[in-house]
Amino acid sequence: MKIETAIKILNKEREFLGMGFLNLLFDIQKEQSTFPGMVYSPKVIEAYNRFMVDGQKMFEPVAEKQHSPISA
């Protein structure tokens, strides 16, 4: 699954549940640790996993810039 597809799936789930994107991510994480496979569909879980892996890769360059010393 591509990251774009994962975001679309998660966004549809977010809209359906009436919650924010980060709230959805937190809820999926919480429910997976409490009731694995019972609350969210396998498709949503797959999208969540893809987003968590590829999303981290997308933001690594930003995090590296924030931690690098500022040169004058």
DSSP structural state of residue 18: T
* Percentage of the chain exceeding pLDDT 70: 79
Low-confidence ranges of the chain (pLDDT < 50): 71-72
Q: What is the CA radius of gyration of the chain?
A: 15
pLDDT at 64: 64
- pTM comes to 0.74
Cβ of 11: how many Cβ atoms within 10 Å?
Answer: 13
* Strand positions, DSSP E, the chain: none
Residue-wise pLDDT tens digits, 21-35: 999 999 999 988 777
Contact 11, 56 (CB under 8 A): no
pLDDT of residue 72: 45
